[in-house]
Chains A and B, each alone.
Chain A
Amino acid sequence: EVQLVQSGAEVKKPGESLKISCKGYGYSFTRYWIGWVRQMPGKGLEWMGIIYPDDSDTRYSPSFQGQVTISADKSIGTAYLQWSSLKASDTAMYYCARFEGVAHWFDPWGQGTLVTVSS
């Protein structure tokens, strides 16, 4: 079974750094893009960016470029999303999803990582 398993919920203070993870199982991790999607409380889905783990080719949404860093370690089949200095407005659920690079859909999705930033 193809699945993505994300790291657990985080509670951080403004200004702190954070790196959350997404590990792929049941498929060749290097052959598919991985995408990250933000969902703020009570809101819709926002695409943040995608990464191709084989060569770390990365594409960012203009809205998130410079605000986060997407990376991957293909040796352990894991993608990451990181912040160097969190803000309260980063409080959200973050999903990773496998991205079909030819036909352009996201499937499957990870279970989500809730990030709470509060002083």
Chain B
Amino acid sequence: EIVLSQSPGTLSLSPGERATLSCRASQSVSSSSLAWYQQKPGQAPRLLIYGASSRATGIPDRFSGSGSGTDFTLTISRLEPEDFAVYYCQHYGSSRATFGQGTKLEIK
């Protein structure tokens, strides 16, 4: 069973700064099956990135995804006030989906 570990658990930054969130898989996974989601308080998750690096429809270009194998990264180039939320990575393989435990991005 693949385990996704996200780091850091909490990231404190200011608007305008760059955010780098990590997702590490316990074994090598296909990049095509790695996605990122954003969840704001009281809302359902929203798809940001699929296939490790493709932005979903309507997602601003300040969000980017990268990585392969076991190490994946979500980068937010210049934080806007609305970007402070919890972010999850997700993988699907062998008929199972797995979510990371999440990274909370908070205002410093």
Residue among B1, B44, B50, B101 making CB contact with A105, cutoff 8 Å? B50
Q: Please report A residues at the B interface, Cβ cutoff 8 Å.
A: 35, 37, 44-47, 50, 59, 61-62, 95, 97, 99-100, 103-112
B102 in contact with A105 (CB, 8 Å) = no
A107 to chain B, nearest CB (A): 4
Can you report 27 residue pairs joining A to B where beta carbons are below 8 Å apart?
Answer: A37-B45, A37-B99, A44-B86, A44-B102, A45-B37, A45-B90, A45-B99, A45-B102, A46-B99, A47-B96, A47-B97, A47-B98, A59-B96, A62-B1, A95-B45, A97-B45, A99-B97, A103-B32, A104-B97, A105-B51, A105-B90, A106-B45, A106-B90, A109-B44, A109-B45, A109-B46, A110-B44
Given contacts A47-B97, A105-B90, is CB(A112)–CB(B33) below 8 Å? no
- Chain B residues contacting A97 (CB-CB under 8 Å) are 45
B45 in contact with A61 (CB, 8 Å) = no
Given contacts A109-B46, A111-B44, is CB(A103)–CB(B33) below 8 Å? yes
A112 to B39, CA, bound (A): 12
B99 in contact with A44 (CB, 8 Å) = yes
- Chain B residues contacting A103 (CB-CB under 8 Å) are 32-33, 50-51
Given contacts A44-B88, A45-B88, A109-B46, is CB(A104)–CB(B96) below 8 Å? no
Q: Please report B residues at the A interface, Cβ cutoff 8 Å.
A: 1, 32-33, 35, 37, 39, 44-47, 50-51, 56, 86, 88, 90-93, 95-102
B88 to chain A, nearest CB (A): 6
A103 to B31, CA, bound (A): 10
- Chain B residues contacting A59 (CB-CB under 8 Å) are 95-96
- Chain B residues contacting A47 (CB-CB under 8 Å) are 90, 96-99
B46 in contact with A105 (CB, 8 Å) = no
A46 to B35, CA, bound (A): 15
A107 in contact with B92 (CB, 8 Å) = no
A109 to B51, CA, bound (A): 18
B100 to chain A, nearest CB (A): 8
A110 to B95, CA, bound (A): 22
